[in-house]
């Protein structure tokens, strides 16, 4: 596949448009001074743009669901998502470049001591709508009720305000939220491992998907991801 055809498939406007989800603190956030997006996913997007010899436009969103919708609809070219079969209907995924944990947060005096106690009648769990853990728990929970919140960073506030029994989320986000509120406790054992990958709309064709997979495979093999995690001070995430 020629450089021209790769560029036409992955960046047809002449600029690589990458969705950046600042709702996932492992992957991205905003610079405290400038407000510009920064983080591991931004570094990866810049490297892809460099290899394609094109400019980069970061399409910033605050929820994973919006990332998927933006790429699937063609409003962006590539994105950073957790691998999930529901999303796989429209998105071609690479291999995961980062593995992170999905956990529960409860009140200090909660009777919940492990994950098995969550899926019981009467339990209400806050979750970010359309997030990887929402999709997973929708399939897995049989007795508990999910209470969906607009974005992942708003989950713990909703959990507290609505007096719910548990909050589900990315471990590091829950730990940061627990530091803001007294009397909360993390269930240490994760209920899932979230496989973070890049993705492109299947409508872009097999060649675009193959190029993106090879690109991520190269970053994984070269140590690029490990170095990016270290550079941004991200702990608790494992390079894929």
pLDDT of the chain, 240 residues: tens digit per residue: 567 788 999 999 999 999 999 988 889 999 989 999 999 999 999 999 999 999 999 999 998 899 999 999 999 999 999 999 999 999 999 999 999 999 999 999 999 999 999 999 999 999 999 999 999 999 999 999 999 999 888 999 999 999 999 999 999 889 999 999 999 999 999 999 999 999 999 999 999 999 999 999 999 999 999 999 999 998 878 898
* CA pair distance 138, 1, nearest whole angstrom: 40
Q: What local confidence, expressed as pLDDT, does residue 199 receive?
A: 97
Interior angle at CA 16, CA 12 and CA 18, nearest 5: 125
Cβ-contact 119, 144 below 8 angstroms: yes
* CA pair distance 105, 126, nearest whole angstrom: 10
Q: What local confidence, expressed as pLDDT, does residue 1 receive?
A: 52
Dihedral angle, C-alpha 119, 131, 6, 12, nearest 10 °: 150
Domains of the chain: residue spans and CATH: 3-98+195-239 (3.40.190.10), 101-193 (3.40.190.10)
């Amino acid at each position: 596949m020629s450089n021209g055809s790769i560029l036409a498939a992955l960046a047809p406007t002449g600029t690589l448009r990458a969705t950046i989800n600042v709702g996932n603190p492992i992957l991205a956030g905003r610079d405290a001074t400038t407000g510009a997006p920064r983080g591991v996913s931004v570094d990866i997007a810049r490297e892809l743009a460099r290899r394609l010899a094109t400019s980069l436009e970061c399409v910033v969103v605050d929820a994973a669901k919006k990332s998927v919708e933006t790429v699937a609809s063609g409003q962006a070219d590539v994105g950073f998502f957790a691998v999930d079969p529901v999303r796989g209907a429209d998105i071609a995924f690479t291999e995961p470049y980062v593995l992170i944990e999905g956990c529960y947060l409860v009140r200090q005096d909660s009777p919940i001591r492990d994950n098995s106690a969550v899926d019981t009648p009467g339990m209400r769990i806050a979750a970010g709508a359309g997030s990887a853990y929402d999709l997973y728990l929708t399939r897995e929970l049989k007795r508990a009720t999910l209470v969906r919140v607009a974005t992942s960073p708003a989950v713990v506030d909703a959990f507290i305000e609505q007096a719910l029994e548990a909050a589900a989320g990315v471990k590091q986000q829950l730990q940061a939220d627990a530091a803001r509120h007294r009397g909360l406790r993390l269930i240490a054992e994760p209920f899932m491992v979230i496989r973070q990958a890049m993705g492109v709309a299947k409508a872009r064709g097999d060649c675009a998907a193959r190029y993106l997979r090879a690109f991520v495979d190269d970053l994984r093999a070269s140590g690029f991801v490990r170095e990016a995690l270290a550079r941004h001070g991200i702990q608790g995430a494992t390079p894929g």
